[in-house]
Structure 1
Amino acid sequence: MDNLAVLWITTVIRINGKIDSELHSPQNRLYFGIALTQISELNSLVFGIELTEKHH
């Protein structure tokens, strides 16, 4: 794993942890989780493409 991937993962974990601690309502967590999932899937896709292009 290169530094960029490690940085990406630690950033995502830190953001998720911060969001998690701020959301105490299960309903908010549900809505936010859905939004976050869609955002992170998009980011993962973009990141995956960048990583793939970088290694070729």
Structure 2
Amino acid sequence: MGVAAPDSLVDGVMRGIDMFDCVLPTRIGRNGTLMTKHGRVVITNAKYKMTFHQLI
């Protein structure tokens, strides 16, 4: 419970944990950030203002 980052989630699974509770994805998503396998993408950055193609 209370996992913050994707790496923590993977580490927990490797240790046998199978139940997680985390508000981080919802919180950062609400503020314009996507979590990808390559890291975070802040879609509110100016470079994405006129981007209409798929980001991930």
TM band (smaller chain): 0.3 to 0.5
Q: Give the TM-score of the pair, scaled to structure 1.
A: 0.35
Q: Give the TM-score of the pair, scaled to structure 2.
A: 0.35
Greater strand fraction, Structure 1 or Structure 2: 2
Greater helix fraction, Structure 1 or Structure 2: 1
Q: Determine which structure has greater relative contact order: mean sequence separation of CA pairs < 8 Å that are 6+ residues apart, divided by chain length.
A: 2
